[in-house]
Structure 1
């Protein structure tokens, strides 16, 4: 591979914003890809994947390059040189790469690869909490899996098409996919490509949604005609799946504290042809109280550490702080206590997170079930999805029934 100056500059500019200004990697990359209209698909892929790669391996590369934060541009070029050397890419004769110690880089890599926190490029506290909660063997496998690049998974929108028809249409657009056993609505891309420009996407035939995330709506066991509350809907990935499973019959109340996310859901619902969704912003406790004992199903896709989705959000490794995890556990329990009251007698509740930590998952459910609010619920089943076993995001979901 030959390195091109303008593409490398784009990567360095992106890393400056992500590492030194705390910007979100996905937003930065979105902007970078608009920088030069002459760039082809391969150029854009280089910028996106190289930036994500260096973000993912920040600690390891910084250690090898012997640089400390905040990184100036020279530091970032040194980290870039480490990335290129380890990928076997010949460094061009540019001033930024003068005196790069190629042999030393490989030696340091071998040395640091024996220490998990460097090998997997994670903060000390994250390594400690992972081992503490999952045990050394499981955590070692899990964090390794969470450092792999995520596949692109589509969820077919059954309100508009079938999986077979979608596969055909995408194939005609030079997008090859394969089915996934055990995931009835999922198609996996054989090669990464920008699916958002596909005509089938514009028509609302599919959404991009990880295979693990697709299990949650099914776990809720909805039926057409029900009243369902998606209590932490966000931009509505799972809401739209629920709408499809309900065949547009019945009512879905999508709730969130962020109105802008619900506005995004409104746009997506229109494209998906999902007509049974009503958005409600949670701006006071009244919004929840109005629905006490009214819902057949309630989904609580709770805010969490997001440790299960590090494959697609590698910068979260550097943004997350241990005190946030402690705070979010309090929030999770508060939400369970309040939102569970919307379930009517005989109705069901699913508590879900995209975390792999038991303290955010089954321990929260156990705590809830022994509380006053939880005493009227019975535990039905739960599912722990680990990235190293499934090959997809880490997730947790528990199904509870109101007596």
Structure 2
């Protein structure tokens, strides 16, 4: 068996776990890469590109297959369906793979999986696609804008329709384009342990490509590396992976020395750890989450970064802790959400969310806000945030909370870094007290935050 066959077989196994068993793609891919640590950097890159690319382009791949298959995609056997998806992705998006290899290896894979009788079908569909790839008709951008955006950017139509009600066509297309753009990993320097320049130097000496953050001095953008855990300073706690939009939460909170900060849905702990960093060894952060597993993730990061002013505890955000009533200077409520702002990093989210589950999340966010606002002392701050661009989960929830609490919005401009405010000063919502980061317009994930103060 060839090495290429091994890699394609691994890719198929990952796809089956994701599409048939509902597993998260990043989790299954990471497990596979950990299991097969002997893979070279090149092989790891090939496997990651093939699996992640096939998943993020799945709607388009299915559209193409349906133009050439006598049996529609949703009627095919799951193994054959995923073999064809992998084959079409290689044909359309992996220039380094010869068309003959993409077809031949797909046929071999079908035979290996016990579908010898379907080898002619697999071969015929892929060969026909290969010959006509450049002339496949797509939905019209003008006459069928929803279908066009759905197929070209592999986004479910119901999400496209929702977004077009909330944003212009151009903004929606920019968001979708951004989800496919190659992106660096953003890290936050733990300035309590090392300077930004020292961290930059150590990473560059490893051959890592390092650039400045767009908005924040403590942020760096890194690329051209193999494993985050093997990087300079990771085990020493010199940095934490965190998007700049997420870093804005601790800044927007206006954290001061000796504050008590409560993060109610904290795992894996990025915002809690940032808050602890800004406290400079004073005060206290209480980082809560629902399960032992999630809280263990926070504790691992606390131990790695070496903070002593932060405590992680298992606490259901829907259950009020009387002992913390009106005790917090700052409450961070980064709540469960649809996650549609981070589809560029978690490409299977768009297939798993439904209109019904999104409505359930909006209701859950309100229920949590009803509880956790009681931890804020008079004059204290509540930061509400999500990693989505859905108006119902963001601005609409802000309006609801203002009408159902004794909190008011406070302008963000004096709390956010000057570099950011100057660069994005045209966004008037900052002066209102909330901010929607839109991928493709801002240089961040899709993210929302609002700053409330208790009267």
TM-score by shorter chain over 0.5: yes
Q: Give the secondary structure class of the aligned counterpart of 2:73.
A: coil
Change beyond 3 A, Cα 1:172–1:284: closer
Matched ranges for 1:41-80 at <5 A: 41-66=41-66, 67-69=72-74, 72-80=78-86
Q: Deviations over 1:263-312 (max 9, x none)?
A: 21111101101111122322586653321211111111011110101011
Instruction: Determine the structure 2 residue equivalent to 1:315.
Output: 348
Instruction: Determine the structure 2 residue equivalent to 1:292.
Output: 325
Mean CA deviation greater in 275-284 or 83-92: 275-284
1:135 counterpart = 2:160: no
**RMSD over equivalenced CA pairs, Å:** 2.0
Change beyond 3 A, Cα 1:286–1:23: closer
Structure 1 unaligned spans of 5+ = none
1:81 counterpart = 2:90: no
Structure 2 unaligned spans of 5+ = 67-71, 109-121, 142-147, 412-432
- Would the aligned equivalents of 1:382 and 1:396 in 2 still touch at CA under 8 Å? yes
Q: Give the secondary structure class of the aligned counterpart of 2:313.
A: strand
Instruction: Determine the structure 1 residue equivalent to 2:203.
Output: 170
Change beyond 3 A, Cα 1:37–1:184: closer
Q: 1:90 aligns with which of 62, 83, 98?
A: 98
Give the superposition deviation at 1:187: 0.8
Higher RCO (CA 8 Å, separation ≥ 6 residues): 1
Cα distance in 2 between the residues matched to 1:120 and 1:198: 33
Cα distance in 1 between the residues matched to 2:134 and 2:200: 43
Give the superposition deviation at 1:32: 1.7
1:103 counterpart = 2:135: no
Cα distance in 2 between the residues matched to 1:137 and 1:175: 35
Alignment coverage as a number of residue pairs:
399
Cα distance in 2 between the residues matched to 1:284 and 1:193: 37
Give the superposition deviation at 1:21: 1.4
Give the superposition deviation at 1:20: 1.4
Cα distance in 2 between the residues matched to 1:152 and 1:139: 23
Q: Deviations over 1:131-170 (max 9, x none)?
A: 1222333222212222334421111111211110101111
Change beyond 3 A, Cα 1:285–1:58: closer
